[in-house]
Amino acid sequence: MTRFDRRPRQAGRSHVDAPREFPEYPRMNPDDDASVPDEVVIRPRRGLVPLDVAELVRYRDLLWFLVRRDISLRYRQTMLGAAWAVLQPALSMALFALVFGRLLGVPSDGVPYPVFVYAGLLPWTYFSTALAASGASLVGSSSLVTKVYFPRLFIPLGACFAGLLDLLVAAVLLAGLMAWYGIRPGPSAWLLLPLTALLLAAAAGCGLWLSALTVEYRDFRFVVPFLLQLWMFATPVIYPVTVVPERFRWILALNPVGGLIEAFRAAALGSQAVSAGRLGASAAVAAAILIGGLYYFRRVERSFADVI
Amino acid sequence: MARAAIETTGLGKRYRIGARSPYRTLRETLSGAFAAAGRRRAGLEETTLWALRGVDFRVEPGEKVGIIGRNGAGKSTLLKVLARITDPTEGEARVRGRVGSLLEVGTGFHPELTGRENVFLNGTILGMRAAEVRRKFDEIVAFAEVERFLDTPVKHYSSGMYVRLAFAVAAHLETEILLVDEVLAVGDASFQKKCLGKMEEAGRQGRTVLLVSHNMGLITSLASRGVVIAAGRVVFDGDTGAAVRSYLSRVGAGVETRVSLHGHPNRLPGMRTVITGVACLQDDGSPAATFLQSDDVVLDLDYDAGDGLPLAGAGFIVYTTSGVRVGGFNTYMAGPPPHRLPGRGVVRFVIPARQFTPGSYCVTVSVGSHPGTLEDKVENAIGFEVSPADIYGTGYLLTPGDGVCAIVARAGVLPAASGAAREAS
């Protein structure tokens, strides 16, 4: 396929009057970059559909505006606004600190329980809200999906990106708590950035699966809240890994966010060394879910408009 | 040979219909095997519907093609396949150039977002780059006439403002190929004219336009070629006027275009049955219920006076569906006396449809033995519909709201100190 020329080949012939020969036909749009394909062949897609990275790049501005939409809509017409980003994990923290910290005396790696549990709730809240939002995102955008073409991947991805702002806002309280309890962040705090990226990847991977599955099976709307509740208890959020017997810890590593959240807390508080083994295992599982999710999504994407 | 902008070969799209819900629940999938067996036993095969089948057509770059068909004929499915919203089931289509699709006005508009936010969101959804939207922003806002409300959430907009803004964004899409589905049927008349202008501009710029509409006038004025789709297949492809007529006669096939007036309930009391039937036809004699303003309505009146008084004349009166009398015509007006009709036969009236504004009309027919003496009269004996066409030759299309009759006049501008102004000074 040859890329066609942007300029008329024969000077003097108006392309407006004689647009018969396509190669003379100029690109209408100066903003089109070279990645716009010359010819698109539309035919039934079967099997695995490779990712069209060029197209994702071409539509990148859309992702940004979808994220902006999600962010600016999230707390619109709420009285407390963005304070909810802090309040949700803060209230959970208070509850868990009372029940698990005070009443049950769950150990917390030598760190005061409130700051310990908050450092786990912070990434967990991000993960669970991002997952819930991206899971419901496609069905919620049915009017878009049935009326216009664009990379559908951006819908669940946008929901995951939008949650990052909440994470950032809620992180302020973590800093406050650490100051209150006199915990100084060590150099390991820099690890929080790549860890957040991994968390995003884990949320996106699971979100792709859930959003695509929800299009076809609305059951997942009911499954997700239960799933998230169970998942939290299967993740070292409100308890330290050390309470899990050694021989069962590998199960935590299979949890795509288990090792991540454990590492997130360790990196933030500097309370103990990051377990490279469990982190690596979780990251690998998260990566596998993401790659699988991308392929599953691409495979079922073609029928979204028909079944949604 | 030049390359086509759009080329389809054997394009088909099948939908599953019937008792099964469009989306599945897990239980259904899990029990799917059993259910399928059960259905087979019960003889309830899963029904499928080919919304499109074997569509082969070619659109050259710069062509403006109107796609015509009844509801459910497959027009929108065709656009959806070409816009890549849904995959075809068979065949293939090749599309060359960037495609902009306008299948709905305001796709992606969010009521809680402000006008400004929606312009950017909607623009990027339609495939524009942010820089492009930014560059055209002022133009879009000016086109939509919503400057003052840019930072108001669109949920507070009037529906007119909402639609204007939504269309304005779409109208500024600059793609080689534009797929448009019925979206011009929005907004008030003046805004529609503006949209029309924008569409014509797109055409003049040499862009390829595929337009789906029920507005035959729009199709004839914007498209140079018409494709009629029925039951998922292309049944006519050619000149726009011929395509529209082919479509209208197809539509007419289902409607009563020939009415027998024997024992008709709308016959006035005291009348005897003289008019036996009435029919609406196109120029070529094919029955039709809808007529382009540019065409003639042929009204045939079958009568049989039997042994009664000899008939002198026949006539008809046209009413709007709301009962406003538009006017009438009779054979006394058509020629000088003496007035005399044979004992039985057909009176044919040829009515240029350009006199009517687009809309629905009812026809009352009558015959008399003498001017002023009725022998038979049947009210609302038949109806016809008028579809807009470019009767002025200026592209200005009338809408049903423009009155009951289409006024044709000449207009010019005189120098300042002349005409009526002279009297006043």
Q: Where are the domains of chain A?
A: 1-30, 53-307
Which residue ranges of chain B lie beneath pLDDT 50? 19, 21-22, 37-44, 425
As a whole-number percent, the residues of chain A with pLDDT over 70 amount to 88
Is B3's Cβ below 8 Å from some Cβ in A?
yes
Encoding tokens for residue A22? 């396509």
The answer to whether the CB atoms of A31 and B175 lie below 8 A apart is no
- Which of A58-67, A113-122, A224-233, B385-394 has the lowest average pLDDT? B385-394
Closest to A160 in 3D by CA, of A40, A71, A31? A71
Asked whether the predicted pLDDT for residue A168 surpasses 90, the reply is: yes
Asked whether the predicted pLDDT for residue A50 surpasses 60, the reply is: yes
pLDDT in tens, B366-398: 999 888 888 899 988 898 989 888 888 887 888
pLDDT at B219: 84
Contacts of B91 in chain A (CB under 8 A): 43
Q: How many angstroms away from the CA of B424 is the closest CA of chain A?
A: 50
Which 56-75 residues of chain B touch chain A by CB within 8 A?
Answer: 60-62
Contact A274, A190 (CB under 8 A): no
Asked whether the predicted pLDDT for residue A33 surpasses 80, the reply is: no
The answer to whether the CB atoms of A41 and B94 lie below 8 A apart is yes
If residue B204 lies in a helix (H) or strand (E), which one and from where to where?
A: helix B189-204
> Letter for the amino acid at B242?
A
Confidence grade of residue A7 (pLDDT, cut at 50, 70, 90) = very low
Q: Which residues have CB under 8 Å from A261's CB, separation 6+?
A: A120, A123, A124, A127, A235, A236, A237
Contact B365, B345 (CB under 8 A): no
Q: Which residues have CB under 8 Å from A3's CB, separation 6+?
A: A34, A38
Q: Which residue has the higher pLDDT, A33 or B346?
A: B346
Is A210's Cβ below 8 Å from some Cβ in B?
no
Is A79's Cβ below 8 Å from some Cβ in B?
no
Q: Give the ranges where chain A is alpha helix by DSSP (H).
A: 53-58, 60-74, 83-96, 113-140, 142-145, 154-180, 192-216, 220-233, 249-254, 258-269, 276-301, 304-307
Which 305-344 residues of chain B touch chain A by CB within 8 A?
Answer: none
ipTM for the whole complex: 0.80
Q: What CA–CA distance (Å, rounded) separates B124 from A163?
A: 21
pLDDT at B18: 53
Mean pLDDT of chain A: 83
**Which residue of chain B is at minimal alpha-carbon distance from A215?**
B23
pLDDT at A27: 47
Is B125's Cβ below 8 Å from some Cβ in A?
yes
pLDDT in tens, A179-236: 999 888 888 888 899 999 999 999 999 999 999 999 988 888 888 999 999 999 889 8
Q: How many angstroms away from the CA of B364 is the closest CA of chain A?
A: 45
Q: Are strands B64-68 and B90-95 parallel, antiparallel or unpaired?
A: unpaired
**Which of B9, B23, B212 to mutate against chain A (most A CBs within 10 Å)?**
B23
Burial of residue B112, with CB atoms counted within 10 A of its CB: 0-12 exposed, 13-18 middle, 19 or more buried: middle
Which of helix, strand or coil describes residue A52?
A: coil
- What angle is formed at CA B173 by the lines to CA B171 and CA B175, rounded to 5 degrees? 130
Burial of residue B262, with CB atoms counted within 10 A of its CB: 0-12 exposed, 13-18 middle, 19 or more buried: exposed
Q: How many angstroms away from the CA of B142 is the closest CA of chain A?
A: 21
Encoding tokens for residue B387? 């579809």
pLDDT at A257: 92
Of B5, B104, B129, the CB nearest to A61: B129
Contact A70, A158 (CB under 8 A): yes
Q: How many angstroms away from the CA of A82 is the closest CA of chain B?
A: 16
Q: What CA–CA distance (Å, rounded) separates B210 from B212?
A: 7
If residue B184 lies in a helix (H) or strand (E), which one and from where to where?
A: none
Section A235-264 average pLDDT: 87
pLDDT in tens, B101-132: 888 777 778 888 899 999 999 999 888 889 99
Contacts of B61 in chain A (CB under 8 A): 19-22, 25
End-to-end CA distance of chain A: 35
Q: Are strands B177-181 and B208-212 parallel, antiparallel or unpaired?
A: parallel
Burial of residue B211, with CB atoms counted within 10 A of its CB: 0-12 exposed, 13-18 middle, 19 or more buried: buried
Relative orientation angle of helices A113-140 and A154-180, to the nearest 10 degrees? 170
Is A75's Cβ below 8 Å from some Cβ in B?
no
Relative orientation angle of helices A220-233 and A192-216, to the nearest 10 degrees? 150
Mean pLDDT of chain B: 83
Which 282-301 residues of chain A touch chain B by CB within 8 A?
Answer: none
pLDDT at A32: 52
pTM of the model: 0.74
Please report the domains of chain B, with CATH numbers, ordered by start residue: 6-25+35-250 (3.40.50.300), 258-390+396-402 (2.70.50.60)
Contact B213, B185 (CB under 8 A): yes
Contacts of B127 in chain A (CB under 8 A): 59, 149-150
Section A95-111 average pLDDT: 85
Q: What CA–CA distance (Å, rounded) separates B78 from A263?
A: 52
Q: How many angstroms away from the CA of B152 is the closest CA of chain A?
A: 13
Is A13's Cβ below 8 Å from some Cβ in B?
no
Residue A122 CA: distances (Å) to CA of A271, A298, B337: 16, 31, 98
